[in-house]
Structure 1
Amino acid sequence: MQKVIFDTDPGVDDALALLYLLRHPDIDLMGVTTVFGNAPVALTTRNARFLLRSWGHDVPVHAGSAGPLTPDMPEDDFPVHIHGRNGLGDHPVPDDPREEAESASSFLIDTIRANPGQIRILAVGRMTNLARALQTAPDIADLVRDVVIMGGAFRVPGNITPAAEANIWGDPLAADLVFGAGWQVTAIPLDLTTRTFMTRPMLARLAQEGGPDMQLVADLSQGYVGFYRQSGYDGMVVHDCCASVFLTDPELFALTTGEVRVPWQGIALGTTMMNPSDRQGPMDAWADRPRQAAALDGQPEAILARIAQVCAG
Structure 2
Amino acid sequence: MRRWGSTQRWLRGLAISIGVAAAVPEEGPSKRQKVIIVADVGVDDAAGLLWALANEKLEVLGVTASFGCHWDVRRTAANARTVLRSAGREDVPVFVGSRWAFGQSASPRLDGSLFHGPDGFGGEGGPWSEEEPESLPTCPSAGGSCAATKLSAAEFLVQSARALPGEVVFLSFSSLTDVALAALLEPNLPWLIKSLVVMGGALYSAGNVSPLAEANFARDAAATQAVFQAFGGREAFARDGPRPAPVVLAPLDVTLQALVTPGDLLQAGASGGASAKLWAKAAGHYRKSYCEIAGICGGIPLHDAHTVAFLLEPGLYTNISELSIEVIVTAEEGRTEHGMSVVDRRAQAGRGGLGERQSRVQALLGVDGERYVRSFLEHLALLP
Matched to 2:87, the amino acid is W
**Cα distance in 2 for residues equivalent to 1:288 and 1:128:** 18
**CA distance in 2: counterparts of 1:192 and 1:70, whole angstroms:** 30
Classify 1:97/1:155 alpha carbon distance in 2 versus 1 (closer, same or farther; 3 Å). closer
Among 273, 294, 297, which residue is 1:233 paired with?
A: 297
Deviation at 1:275, TM superposition (A): 2.7
What RMSD, in angstroms, separates the aligned Cα atoms of the two structures? 2.0
Q: Which residue of 2 aligns with 1:165?
A: 214
Cα contact 1:70–1:264 (8 A) shared by 2 = no
1:129 lines up with 2:178 in the alignment: yes
Of structures 1 and 2, the larger Rg is shown by 2
Letter in 1 for 2:366: D
- Aligned partner of 1:7 in structure 2 is 38
Residue 63 in structure 1 maps to residue 96 in structure 2: yes
Is the alpha carbon distance of 1:92 and 1:116 closer, same or farther for their aligned partners in structure 2, counting shifts above 3 Å?
closer
| Structure 1 position 189, deviation (Å) | 0.7
Q: Which residue in the other structure is 2:349 paired with?
A: 279
Amino acid of the structure 1 residue aligned with 2:349: R
Structure-1 residue corresponding to 2:256: 194
Please give the TM-score of this superposition, normalised by the length of structure 1. 0.93
Percent identical across equivalent pairs?
31
Q: Is 1:260–1:274's contact at 8 Å kept on the other side of the alignment?
A: yes
Q: How does 1:251-262 map to 2 (within 5 A)?
A: 251-253=315-317, 254-262=319-327
1:45 aligns with 2:45: no
Which ranges of 4 or more aligned residues in structure 1 deviate by more than 6 Å? Answer: none
Alignment of 1:109-120 (within 5 A): 109-120=158-169
**Counterpart in the other structure of 2:203:** 154
Distance in 1, Cα, partners of 2:169 & 2:301: 24
Please tell me whether the aligned partners of residues 73 and 171 of structure 1 are also in contact (alpha carbons under 8 angstroms). no
Structure 1 contact 207–312 (Cα < 8 Å) conserved: no
Q: 1:175 to 1:211 in 2, by over 3 A?
A: same
1 CA distance for matches of 2:336 and 2:300?
29
By how many angstroms is 1:203 displaced?
Answer: 1.5
SS at match of 1:99: coil
2:130 and 2:65 mapped to 1: Cα distance?
Answer: 17
What do the CA deviations read for 1:156-185 (whole angstroms, capped 9, x no partner)? 000011110000011111111111123311
1:303 corresponding residue in structure 2: 372
Within the alignment, does 1:78 sit opposite 2:111 as a pair?
Answer: yes
Distance 1:53 1:302, change over 3 A: same
> Is it true that 1:17 corresponds to 2:48 in the alignment?
yes
